[in-house]
Structure 1
């Protein structure tokens, strides 16, 4: 039987706190989503001023990064690079801003952020990931 680390409430809270701190430091109104390794939502935080659609987009970015085991930007890059057949993949968050959480070589979940420019979304997500993954 295999064993692997999983995200607890403590880690999920640490991720949200670190991502929120990064967003607030830069005065960015975003939504932050944390998903488990199966792409299931563990936590969602929509900061004041973020559009309601941010909750949907952040969740899908997290789901895409968790299920795909890679940053969601890689899917965006493939599609923009001409691999349009990838549009048929069952991933609704193929936009920059979803970052997997890797612990001991295993993807244990992902963080998705939406609300500002794509590289800034990813910056916030990475801040959350770094709080638990090194």
Structure 2
């Protein structure tokens, strides 16, 4: 047996690990139907004002990131991005959305959109509190 540590893992290793996880998941959940889902908003000059990226898998919408440019905040763009992405997730058959956020980012924003805190990580020195959020679709 040989244990190797990588700071920059080879793509082949990551692909092999992913294949192993997918095979294990398929044995428990059936065939994977993971699909990327992203939405963006740009101004008239083509500058990115914000966007959202995630994926739908096993009837859930997993949100990886949401960002709105500093000068475009407070105009409802985040809410519009979320609404568009969640509408598509529901079209794909999702019954819930999940994400995590830090205390200085947007836990209150997501709460206004109907997300509930289902977990927290706090008390780690020099680290912000992390919230794990879930929104069930009716």
Instruction: Tell me which structure has the larger Cα radius of gyration.
Output: 2
Greater strand percent: which structure? Answer: 2
TM-score, scaled to structure 2: 0.29
Q: Which has the higher helix share?
A: 1
